[in-house]
Amino acid sequence: MKEKLLYLEESKEEMQKEQFCKTSFERMFMSFDPPVPGTWQQNTSSTASHMVYLALSSNLGDRQQNLALALEKLAPVVHIQTISSTYETEPLGYLDQPRFLNMVCGGETTYEPWELLLAVKALEVAIGRRPSFRNGPRVIDIDILLYDQLVVKQENLVIPHPGIAERAFVLVPLAEIAPTIVEPGSGRTVQELLAHIAQEGVTKIVSADKFPS
């Protein structure tokens, strides 16, 4: 009981950030046509294309279907070029919840980092995510892991994603599709980072070529 109360207290900041992203997203798209989440397209006014890697996870409902739906809805935002296998892992932090399915996808986008963040947070809501306590269960979670070799440290946006170097459930699928890419925060490749952490409890359950389209 005390553990859950602690996480409920810690969740206030995370819920505020989610609300910030949701509000900012709504404001940003007020001038777009149509201003409806889920109808945006790639930014054709910019010719610059950026390589991004996103982590997807789910532990509520039909987890595999949630991941597939997230990939489908990401298509107008990121031209997905590669996806990892799906891995099942124990929850991190708050343990009294179902196991997670995790995967990573990589692709190109014309969105700037802030635009991408707002878009993926809106996608989470569209798929069914609701505010919860920190590290709590969620229908879908989409995190920006890498954006080119960019390093961003702002209040509501940090790239590379915090904790990427210590999380096997992120590094294992990322190493599967991009082992030699350099994580700019450490200067090490993904493969090198993975070699320095324990990988127990990360179980492949669906190979990338078996993932439902």
Amino acid, single-letter form, for residue 61: G
CB 54 within 8 A of CB 144: yes
Question: Does the annotation mark 62 as catalytic?
Answer: no
Question: Does the annotation mark 141 as catalytic?
Answer: yes
Catalytic residue (choose from 62, 63, 141, 167): 141
Catalytic residue (choose from 33, 63, 138, 148): 138
Question: Does the annotation mark 148 as catalytic?
Answer: no
CB 178 within 8 A of CB 148: no
CA distance 210 to 213: 9
The closest alpha carbon to 81, from 193, 181, 206, belongs to: 181
CA distance 81 to 178: 12
CA distance 144 to 164: 10
Amino acid, single-letter form, for residue 148: D
Question: Does the annotation mark 129 as catalytic?
Answer: yes
Residue reference for tokens 């492949």: 204
Angle between helices 113-127 and 2-28 (to 10 degrees): 120
Q: In Å, how far from its chain's centre is CA 125?
A: 13
Catalytic residue (choose from 33, 63, 143, 167): 143
CA distance 15 to 176: 32
CB 186 within 8 A of CB 146: no
* Residues that are catalytic: 129, 138, 141, 143
